[in-house]
Homo-oligomer: A and B are copies of this chain.
């Protein structure tokens, strides 16, 4: 759970820094953050200024910028910040990048070209999107998030059990149904005007951060805006680094983050999958007498039975070895999880799955 120390990162944690994100990322040590969430500006204006995705309908003008000049400069900008992002991302960290059809293809292509390995594209389905007033297209009711590892061999974190718990014990899919950021969650000025045109809902960031980080790990947002990523990270007991060019947005973000009450450790805890739990070799159960040497193991249908040896190996006919190896051998399967295959005969003639003994042992050892 600890953050690597001595890299100079500690001084920058839990802060919002004002400035160009590429310059600011250059100050961060390499391989220092566990996750990155980026909601970059969607298009560049001719002058090279950044522009938020004001739809043409909203500002009512024809696109003043020339697409053919503009896309290459947008690509150059994208590659520049993604290159720095990749440098500061830890070897086994992951990045989320978000966009709409205007820019998401550029983002995805740049990610792949730079060596990132796409894990999923996730669809944020908006429950309450703006309708298409002119009736000339389908209602643009979603945005796309690309989730990628630093490279194809990354051993990235995915909190599978937590995501499954969040979805009533069914695997979380790649399409997420989440309302827009409205009502009291939306930051406004004194006159009630939106402080930021594209403030993202906290529920979206909740799911993102919960899916790929552990408490205490560091989340970087290079386009922090009014601070949704940092606010949610803080609430969930994660560390954050927020970069934002606009001082007004940054100030609003700082005030907002300050007001966030971090969850208690127990509330921030999530369901641990079996992968996260300590391993118990079968031999330990044997030597503790939980499943003593000489016990008989059978499969559920009692097709095979095996004898437990004093060293934790088992024997079934000519097959001999670990519970996994023998389980695979008798079934002529390429592999087998012995814990979920073998059972112990109970006094009443009932069978008890080996895995239940392991769970019991896990509980008793704290």
Contacts and interface: CB of A to CB of B under 8 A. Distances in A.
Interface of A: 51, 55, 63, 67-68, 71, 100-102, 104-109, 111-113, 115, 118-123, 125, 127-129, 131-132, 135-142, 144, 146-147, 152, 158-163, 165-175, 177-179, 185, 201-203, 206-207, 210-211, 236, 263-264, 266-271, 273, 281-284, 286-289, 293-294, 307-313, 315, 318, 320-322, 331, 333-335, 363-366
A305 to B, nearest CB: 13
Nearest to A209: B310
Given A122-B138, A138-B120, A173-B139, A310 B236 contact: yes
A148 to B, nearest CB: 9
Given A136-B158, A333-B55, A313 B105 contact: no
B267 A166 contact: no
How many copies altogether?
2
B101 A146 contact: yes
A52 to B, nearest CB: 12
Contacts of A127: 364-366
A112 B45 CA distance: 14
Nearest to A290: B203
Given A263-B293, A365-B179, A135 B101 contact: no
Contacts of A163: 138, 311
Given A266-B309, A270-B309, A315-B266, A120 B135 contact: no
Given A120-B101, A123-B142, A138-B122, A131 B309 contact: no
Nearest to A184: B289
A105 B101 contact: no
A307 B118 contact: no
A307 B170 CA distance: 21
B160 A313 contact: no
Most buried by B among A138, A172, A266, A282: A138
Nearest to A331: B55
A356 to B, nearest CB: 15
B172 A139 contact: yes
Contacts of A271: 309, 311, 313, 320-321
